[in-house]
Structure 1
Amino acid sequence: MILYEYPFNERIRTYLRLEQLLLRLGELIPRIHALDHHFALATIFEIMDVAARADLKSDILKDIEKQKQLLASYRGNPSISETALDGIFAQLDRCFQALNAQAGKAGQTLTENDWLMSIRSRIGIPGGTCGFDLPSYYAWQHHAPELRQQALEGWASSLAPLAEAIYVLLKLLRDSGAPQKVAAERGHFQQNLPSGRTFQLLRLRMDPAQGVIPEISGNRLMVSVRLMRPLDDGHLQASTENASFELTLCA
């Protein structure tokens, strides 16, 4: 099954982008090839660029507080484990304190490293990190893998508070939805959303054996899914066949 996700607002869109970059970074650092570590460093710079939004940190801290207030309303509910609630509260408190204690934006301390910033200024230029452009970086790529990994882990550690907060908030958001099986007649599905409730994320799980790709659009009033079939030349064509998939709306 392939899982597609569609964010309903810019804040969740940013969270998902950061999550994707952080997961990629986690995949690249443990590898030993210098090329993998080059792209790990490029990913760190990408995370810094996405996290440079002025209000991102305050948005995350506000979302953590909202989650704590929501969870507090479950206190005393016999169907909710108090032990599980305490564990989530502790995790949210830890995320809040770690992120709040961090000065500036994510990766702010890395901007004080002139060597890293010289690489950052060149890495976006096609071929800009050749040995004749950045001989010291070229030499670093020839260090033992363990030394490169140690350096990357040190630089990535400044992103750890952001990473944990993003992971926790997205997990709680995804867990808030209940999956439902729906059918798209002649390749199209549309559903009105209930008034008075604001959804933040749509999750769509589809069997790739059906051979179609969902194009999702939505707003606070409705969601629409158009199923497209890939052609041999790479273009997409609207499907006119019936299909089914699993839909989850997360608030």
Structure 2
Amino acid sequence: MISFEFPIVERVRILLRLEELFRRLTHFSDADGADEHHVALQTLFDMAELGARGDLKSELIQDLERQRFALEALRDNPAIAEHALDEVLGEIESAMSRQLEYTGKFGHELRDNEWLMNIKQRMAIAGGACQFDLPSYYYWQNLPAEARRADLQRWAAPLLATRDAVAVLLKLLRDSGKSNAFTARQGAFQQMSGGKVVHLIRVSIDRKLGVAPEVSANKYAVNVRFIEPTTHSARSRASTDDIPFTLAFCKL
């Protein structure tokens, strides 16, 4: 099975984008090559730029606080395992504490580093980070892998509190959804949402079917259309087959 996630609100879009950037950062930082570390540094710049939009820190704290309040209300509920509840609340408390300890705007340490910002500016130009453009960066790229990795870890360290908060919120969001099986007749499906609040829609299908979903949603209805992706032309063809899939509505 392959699952596709479609955020319905902007704050969930940001959480998913940050999650992907943190995943990419870890992957490329753990490698040894200079090219991989170049991508890791680009990823750090993307994270700082994304996190600088709005007040990410206060939004994360507010979301964590809302989740803590909602879960605390479940105490003494016989259907809820007390130890599991305590574990989740502990993760929320830890993430909130780390956010409160973080001072300044997300990624400000990177923006305050003139050397890094010079590299970021040159990276915005196609091929602009060549050795003749940035001799000092080329020197850094030729340092031992351990030295480059240590620098990447040092630059990323202040952002890890946000990584933990994002992970906690997305886990709670994903766990809130219950999957139900449906069939898209001739590749299309619609379900009335009845005004219920949805923050994320997850569509799961058998990868062997060779289709991908496109989702549009509002407070009245959810529409799913399956397409047959192609790399040979700009437009994918809409599927006309009956497609079995599962659908989950998630909310924070």
TM class, shorter-chain normalised? over 0.9
Aligned counterparts, 1:28-177, within 5 A: 28-177=28-177
Aligned length: 250
Q: CA deviation at 1:194?
A: 2.8
Asked if 1:201 corresponds to 2:200, the answer is yes
| 8 Å contact kept, 2:194–2:220 | yes
Deviation track 1:82-115 (CA, whole Å, cap 9, x = no partner) reads 1121121121111111112212222212222211
Structure 2: stretches of 5+ with no match in the other structure:
none
The aligned amino acid for 1:193 is S
Does the Cα contact within 8 Å between 2:52 and 2:107 map onto a contact in 1? no
The match for 2:22 is 22
Secondary structure in 1 aligned to 2:104?
coil
Distance change >3 Å, CA 230–CA 158, structure 1 → 2: same
Give how far 1:230 is off.
Answer: 3.1
In 2, the alpha carbon distance for the partners of 1:226 and 1:85 equals 38
Give, in angstroms, the shift of residue 192 of structure 1. 0.8
C-alpha displacement of 1:123: 1.2
Any unmatched runs of 5+ in structure 1?
Answer: none
Look up the match of 1:228: 227
Is 1:211 matched up with 2:210? yes
What SS is found at the alignment partner of 2:232?
A: coil
Counterpart of 1:106 in structure 2: which amino acid?
F
- Give the aligned partner of residue 244 of structure 1: 244
Q: Label 1:232 to 1:37 Cα distance change in 2 as closer, same or farther (>3 A).
A: closer
The list of structure 1 runs, each at least 4 consecutive aligned residues, that deviate by more than 6 angstroms after superposition, is: none
1:173 and 1:115 map into 2 onto residues whose CA distance is 38
Distance 1:242 1:64, change over 3 A: same
Within 1, Cα distance between the matches of 2:54 and 2:199? 21
Distance in 2, matches of 1:183 and 1:200, equals: 22
Identity %: 41
Partner Cα distance (2:223, 2:53) in 1: 30
Normalised TM-score (structure 1):
0.96
3-state SS of paired residue (1:29) = helix
User: Secondary structure at the residue paired with 2:126?
Assistant: coil
| Pair 1:190 & 2:190 matched | yes
